[in-house]
Structures are given as C-alpha cells and as structure tokens.
Chains A and B, each alone.
Chain A
Amino acid sequence: MRPFRLWLRALFLRRRVEHEMRREMQLHLQLETEANLRRGMSESEARRAALIAFGGIGKAEEAVRDERLTRTLEIVVGDVRYAIRGFARRPLFASVIITLLAVGIGANTALFGVVYQQLISPLPFKDGSRMVHLQSTGAQGTIQLPIAPGLQEAWARSPTVEQMVVVGVGVFAVGDTTQDRPRQVYGAVLPPGASAFVGIHPVLGRDIQPTDTLSSAPPVVLLSDQIWRRDFAADRGVVGRSILIEGVGHVVIGVVPPAYAMPFIDERDIFLARRALSVNATRSDSLLNSPTSDGIPLAKLRPGMSVDDANREMSGLFERWKADPRAAQFVAQLGGVVIDPPRVVRAIDDVRPATREAILVLFAAVSLVLLITCANVANLLLVRAWSRQREFAVRAAIGASRGRLMAQVLTEGAILSLAGAFAGIGVATLVLRGIQASQLGRTIGTASLQPSVLVWCLALSLFTTITFGLAPARFAAEDRMTDALKAGARSQSGGSSARRVRTALVGLEIALSFVLLAGAGLLVRTLMAMGGADIGIDTRDLVSVEVRFPQKRFSLDARRAAVGAIRSHLEALELRDLTISSMTPPRFGIGLGGLQFENRPTRASDSLSAIGFNDVDPAYFARVGLRVTRGRIFQADTRLSTDKNATEVMVNERLARRFFPNGNAVGQHLKYGKLPWSTIVGVVADVDIPGLNDRARSLQLYMPISPVTGRANFVFRSTRPVFKLDSLIRAIVRDAAPGATVGNPIIADELLSGARQTQHSLLQVIGAFALVALCLAAIGLHAVIAFSVGQRTREIGMRVALGAAQADVVRLILRQGLSLSLWGVAVGGGGALLTSRALSSFLYGVHPRDPVTIVAVGALVAVVAVVASLPPAWRAARIDPIEALRAD
C-alpha cells in the first residue's frame, strides 16, 4: 500500500516531491561544505570539494526520478504533447486523417447502434426480456394458429406464466360513413390491464378499465399519438368526445404516447376495449382469418423462468389437452389437421429474419468501409513516417530506443483515432438521422446513441489505432539511422519493407472495394430481374379500390345490390378491364386450415397448410391477364349451394403440381378448413411478388367472389391521377352504397416496387459505400505509383537516355499500376465469392456467385487502376533524362 501511495504522490504532487528532493540534496551539500570548513578549507574550496564528493547533482536527480517509476506516464504525456505539436504544424494532414476516421468510425458506430437496438438490447417494454407469445408454425411458414380452446387458458394459469393478455388486431373504419370520408385504420382490441402489461400509460385521459368491458358499458376508444395529432389537431378536449368506429359511437377516453406499441404487433392507430368476451370466444367463428378477428396472446414469464421451461410446460399441457373433448371438436373444425403444440417465442427473438439479415449485411458493409479507411490512413501515415526518417534518426542518435520511437508513432495514431472517434459520434448522429428519415429506416429501424454504443465507438478507435498504427510504428523503429543521416532522402531506398506494406495496403483496399462492388452489382442485377420478372399477372396501370360493407348495415342481398350498383357506375367511367376480387392484386389473403382431397389420403405434411386465397369474379382472370393453363374458368358464385362439390374453385400451378404431380388436378375435389367440398375446375399460373418470398401464400386458391365476404376490391386499369380516382370513387360509393367504407386506391406497380424496397435501400447504401471505397482505393493506388515514380526518376531517366520512347515509359508505369491492382482483384474476387452468400436472401433471379457481376466488377476495377496510374505515368513520360541523371 505504502509504495503505491508514494507512486501516486510522485505522479500527482510532482512539484512537491521534486522540491523535497532538491532540498534534501542541498542540505547534504551544505552539511558537507560545513564539514569541509571545519577541516580548515577555505569557503570556495569547501564547496567545490563537497560538489566533487557528491558527483553531479543533475545525474543524481535523474537517478532518483528513475526510482520513482512514474517515468512511463511522464513519457506518454510528453509523447502526446509532441504529437499534438506535430499535428498543429500540419493541420491539413491531421484533418484529412481525422475526417477519414470520423466517417469510418461514425458509420460503423451508427450501424452498431442499429444492431444493438434491434438485435441485442432488451425491448423497451417493462420486463421486455420476459415477454413471450404463442406461435404456431404451419407447413408453409410462420402463421398464427387459432389458439385451441382450453389450452391457452391452462397455460396462462401454469406456474411459468405471470400474466397473459390477448390482444385483438384488425382494420376499422373510423368516421361518419354518411357524412365525411371514413378512414380505415389499424386498431387493437385490448383487455383491461394491457397498458400495465407493457408498462406504458395514456398521456391524456385514462386507461381502459375492467368496467369498460361490460356489455352494458358505453364503447370506449384510446387514440394513438399519431392519429390524435393528424386527425384531431392534438386537441386536448378530444377526451369525452364521441367518434364513429364501424358506424358505432365510441367515447374517446384518452391518448397514448408515441411509443405505445405492443411486442409482436405492428403500429396501431386506435385501441378499443375488449368487451364481455372470454379469451377464446372471438376465435370460434373465424377459422379463415378475416382481418378483424385476430387475437394475439402475449404473456410475461415469471422471473427466473426460461423459454425452455415455458415450452416444456406447454408440451405437457398439450398432451393432456388432446384428451379434452373440445380438442377433437377443434381439430374437426380445422378440417382434421394434425396440430403441434404452440411454440413459446421470446419477443426479443421475433425480429423478422429479413430485417435481421438486412441489418447484418449493412453492418458487414460498414465494417469493410472501416477497414478500407484504416488501410488508407495507414498509407498516409507511412508516407509521413517516410518523410520523417531524419527526425527518427536524430532521435535515435541522441538515445531514443526503438520502443520509444514506436511508442511515439503509436501515440500519434491513438490521438488521431480518438479525435476521429469523437468526430465520429457526430457523424453517427447524422447517419442515424438520415436512416430514420429515409426508406431504409422502415427496413432496418433506427437507434439512439446509448452508452453501450459509445463504448463501441471508443473500442473502434482503439482497434483502428492498432490496425493503422502498427505499420508506421514498425517503420519508425527500423534501424536505418546511418542511412538517413548520411545522405539526401532521394537517393536512399526509402525502406523497401515500407514500400511492400504500402503495396499490400493498396491491394487490400482494392480487394475490399471489390467485395463491396460485387455486392452492389448483385443487387443491381436483382432489381433488374425483379423489374422484368413475369409475376403472373399484367400490372400495367392496374389499380384497385377496396370497399367494405359493414354487416350491421348491409344484409347479404343489400351487399350484392351495392356491389352491382357501384360496378355499373364505374363502368360508366369507362375504366379499362374492370373486375372484382376480394384481395388487392397481386396480393392474397391468408387462410389456414387442413387441406383435404377426396382421392388422396391426408398426410401429416399437408396437415396444416397456409394458403393464399382470393375470391374473384369469373372475368378477373382475363382482365388482369392471369393465364389459365388447364381446365376452365369457374361459373359465378356457387358457394351458397348446399350440394357437395357444387362450389367450383381454381388453384395455381404450384398447388396442382404439389398434390397432383401427374397433372390430373382438374376434376379433383378438395376441402379447405370449414369451407364446403369443392371441385377444381381449372389451374392458373402462379402469382408471386418478386422479392417477397412469401411461402405462406405460395399455394393459391381462387373461389368465385360472393357477398359473404363483406368486401370487394374494384380492380381496373387507369392512368388517371390517384387523387382524382379517389374522389370519383368516393362520390360513387356515397351515392350507390351509403354506409360502405372506401379504402385508398392502390396501384399494383407501387406494391411491387414496395416489395423491392429492401433491395433498393441496400443498393443505395452498399452502392455508395462501394463508390467511396473505390475512390479511396484509387487515391491510394495513385499515391503509391506516384511515389514510386518519384523514386525511380533516375532509372527512368536512364531508360530514356538509352532510347526508351515516351509510350514505353507510360506503358511501364501503367503496367505497374495494373499488376498491383490485379492481385487486389484476385483477392477481392475470391472474397466476393466467399461472402456474397450473405446477400442471397435478398437476391432474385441472380446467383450469389454470378460470373457476369464478378467479371464486370473486375473490369471496372482494372479500368479504375489504369486511370489512377495515368497521371504519374504521364509525369514519368516527361522526365528529362539530363535533369534526372544530374539530380544527385
């Protein structure tokens, strides 16, 4: 303890310690002098003798200081001062490096922030890490299974679960349907206590109370912050007012804050109270999921319970549940499916795979950019170190060890890195703001700069110091003291090892740029393929408008009449290819249930199939250009017939091939979920949205549209502006079917480009990175070639003197640039082949190892290498042999 205290004292009370040391030695001299006087010496003689006996005060002081062991720190402080003085003398050099580092570190920090917030950090909810939901995975992908009656409640009461709430989600029409334009908004149906469950409470008004759920209570609604600002001008007096939802008056009881989101549930505009319903009552009549009847069970595990515990519990309960009579009934309702126990999934693991991959791909890309930045900075520092050879040599000559010289250069690197990191925090803030404002934010979400992200930023600066600082540090420590002092800088070798390092660094930059360029190239090819893809229907000018007929106002017959009336009005507008479907083309609804075939035993693998469905007018196929490949088009609505197999349906090629590989699908009978037995009368082409890779809707089933559906999409082709169509159609619906709600016109091509959004965003970012990287690599290559031309002046002069033509000299230098870039291309090409698979889930119509992309990128890099070597080659060609040979 005591030695440490002395050390601290020496470090922080340096002046006092020094003063004491000097006083002690002065006293010594004084006492010695006095003793000498007593021995009879004269005063001056006595002092001289004392000094001689002491033997050099300066040296003794230095020796004492060495004993204090604070030297290392003092050296660091000295190095830092020296470095800062050096940078102050070359502000441009320092600011270029700091800018490079700030961009590299800042972009990386921003993306790390996204990785941290979206993939690592706990959810923003209270006890977010304990939040789970129940999920069923069907044969075709992840879909939400109707929760089996009795099972969910048993699990909610089990010792693994602390609390469970079931949140309903759906689309609701808000506003007076007869007066103004009702709006379709996303809503959630909450049980009491849901706000406490997520730990977020209304900022205005009150929360949903248990009494609100009584069937006698007046209906109530909570508004989202967004809809409150947009539609109610942030009026605090909105609480207590009544608004129409699905034609029923609801009292606004409060407004929830912007962050009011539930795990697993997308953003919502309104929140209704779940009224007088038991947990599973809403499920009973909705086996084909209509959008308003989804219930999502959210639960919070008890502290200390893991997801594995919860899953074990669920499996046990599931086995017992299968003996319950309700289980058999449930299975029968679903059409005899084989049911697996629902899986318990942590909210934090529920990030969409596409989002996760997009984030990781971008993070990898910015990491490559950071590496390129480091290589560039290392290159600049090496050049600087080369020009400082004399300084190093002089320092070495007056006694600085190699370690000291290396430490000096590394300290300079660390200072640059720290400055870069601090500036990088600013860059990261800008990048995150940019992400939030752009389309990219929708794909990958955004982040804030939390402490852990800042720690990452500092760690990066340490990493960069080491990666770019080591080569110049080693160069500084090389023993070439005599060389440097002996002669002019021009005539010496300049450290062949430094040149090798610089060449390697430039090669590395080219290789890394190659990888980024290849990624961008693959995305370009993907977007081209997506744009030109045959999606099964002709989407040119295709528009659809959804009209919904609330059951309360429209009987079955009224609906039929309303659809007809609207249709005849629209026909008067002379819209091309007018037809009707239940879903907006090229989308499909999703259905869930057992798929059974009369002449084919049900296998476990087909048991729980998700199916994309669309109820359409018989004319639909011809109007949207959907090809019938076998059989015929069905007759108009036959669904209300009670005869077995009277309903005619059509399926897509994929479904037909999967269940009837012999091509005899037409004429087969199928039953899906609780729908009646139907006959397949025709097979049509597959309709796939490129890039969506929607396995849940890859098997497609078409049924004749019927008023049972309760809504209709009017589909047509028009080049009129959307807002004009919108007002025209709203006017028509108001006249022809008062009380129906109208959605916004949706342009099919916009849906398709929406599906390409992820690739677009990725291409923008990776493409920009790739261009920056290529520029940095070109600058690096140019610098290396220019430097080497400078060094080879004499040699080139000799060549010219011996008869080389200018073209020969140019060719010589260009060949040097090209051969340097070629091994960068070779390494980069290999790297691209190895890493491009990371992009594969975003690619469409192009193989990750697409040779066209690789060759094109290679050619581009070679051209850039030649262009970057041209200026120095030109300079070399104009070297005057007489000047060059006389120079030394």
Chain B
Amino acid sequence: MSDAADVLQGTLDLLVLKALSLAALHGWGISQRIQQLSRDALQIGQGSLYPALYRLERKGLVKGEWGTSENNREAKYYTLTAAGKRALAAESEEWRRYSSAVDLVLSATG
C-alpha cells in the first residue's frame, strides 16, 4: 500500500506544479485546472491536495499569498517559485521516462 501511495503522492506533486506553471491559482482552482487538463480523467482527492500544497510550500517549490479572487473573495493564491520551475522540468522528464518504460512493458506481446 505504501508503495502505491508514494507513487501517487509524487504524481500529485507533479500535477500541482504543472497546473501552477500556467497561472497562479488557489486550491480549488488547482483541482479544477487538473480536472480540466485531464479532460475529467483525473479527480484530485481534495483531502490530499492541501497537504501536498503545504509540503511544496515547505520545500520552497511554491509560494502561497493571500489575494482577492475575481468575484472579490479572499483566497490564498499559489505561484511557482524558481526552484519550483526547475523541479517541474526535472520531474516531468523523470515521469515521461517512467511512463514510457511502463508502456513498453505493457505493450510487449508474447
């Protein structure tokens, strides 16, 4: 169980970083954006979104700041830091290699 959770957690961090690379977003916005980008294929377990955000913030990959949303509500907006951008690039590369490797295994015939 713990192995699967690690993989998922790592993936979640990557998705969050990717979502934030396009624009600053608040928590709900991030979950919406990921859902939208994955064409509803990925539903973020929202209970684990916030721990992920705090973790990324602690690692200095994202930065959270309180601001006002489009309909005038106080919300905490997250932006990618420079370290976050570097981490996104590195982890995306890592993920691509990993998923294509898994693809290769799965598509093997005989």
Contact = CB atoms under 8 A, between A and B. Distances in A.
B83 to A, nearest CB: 10
B96 interface: no
B28 A32 contact: yes
Given A20-B76, A55-B45, A55-B46, A64 B54 contact: yes
A63 B28 contact: no
A2 B60 contact: yes
Contacts of B57: 6
Nearest to B27: A28
Given A3-B59, A69-B58, A60 B51 contact: yes
A852 interface: no
Interface string B59-100: 110000010000001111000000000000000000000000
A53 B46 contact: yes
Nearest to A2: B60
B58 A60 contact: no
Nearest to A24: B76
B60 A25 contact: no
Contacts of A69: 58
Which residue among B46, B55, B59 has the maximum number of chain A CB atoms within 10 Å of its CB? B46
A31 B28 contact: yes
A23 B47 contact: no
Interface in A32-86: 32, 35, 53-57, 59-60, 63-64, 66-69
Interface string B7-51: 000000000000000000011100110000000000101111011
A575 interface: no
A217 interface: no
Which residue among A28, A35, A54 has the maximum number of chain B CB atoms within 10 Å of its CB? A28
Which residue among A21, A35, A53, A66 has the maximum number of chain B CB atoms within 10 Å of its CB? A53
Given A2-B60, A56-B47, A60-B46, A67 B55 contact: yes
A60 B50 contact: yes
A11 to B, nearest CB: 13
A233 interface: no
Contacts of A20: 66, 76
A27 interface: yes
A58 to B, nearest CB: 9
Given A23-B74, A28-B27, A67 B58 contact: yes
B74 A63 contact: no
Tell me whether chain A's interface is mostly helix, strand or loop, or mixed: helix
B50 A63 contact: yes
A59 B54 contact: no
A69 B59 CA distance: 12
Interface in A4-20: 6-7, 20
A35 B31 CA distance: 13
A67 B51 contact: yes
A64 B50 contact: yes
A21 B60 CA distance: 18
Contacts of B55: 67
Interface string A289-319: 0000000000000000000000000000000
A60 B26 contact: no
B60 A3 contact: yes
B46 A28 contact: yes
Contacts of B51: 60, 63-64, 66-67
B64 to A, nearest CB: 9
Contacts of A56: 47
B8 to A, nearest CB: 14
A31 B26 CA distance: 11
Given A20-B76, A31-B28, A25 B58 contact: no
Interface of B: 26-28, 31-32, 43, 45-48, 50-51, 54-55, 57-60, 66, 73-76
Interface of A: 2-3, 6-7, 20-21, 23-25, 27-28, 31-32, 35, 53-57, 59-60, 63-64, 66-69
24 contacts: A3-B60, A20-B76, A23-B74, A24-B26, A24-B27, A25-B27, A27-B26, A28-B26, A28-B27, A28-B31, A32-B28, A32-B46, A55-B47, A56-B47, A57-B47, A59-B47, A60-B46, A60-B47, A60-B51, A63-B47, A63-B50, A67-B54, A67-B58, A68-B54
4 shortest interchain CB distances as A-B pairs: A55-B47, A63-B51, A60-B47, A67-B54
Given A3-B59, A28-B27, 18 more contacts: A2-B60, A3-B58, A6-B57, A23-B74, A27-B27, A27-B28, A27-B74, A28-B26, A28-B31, A32-B46, A53-B46, A54-B46, A55-B47, A60-B48, A60-B50, A63-B51, A64-B50, A67-B55
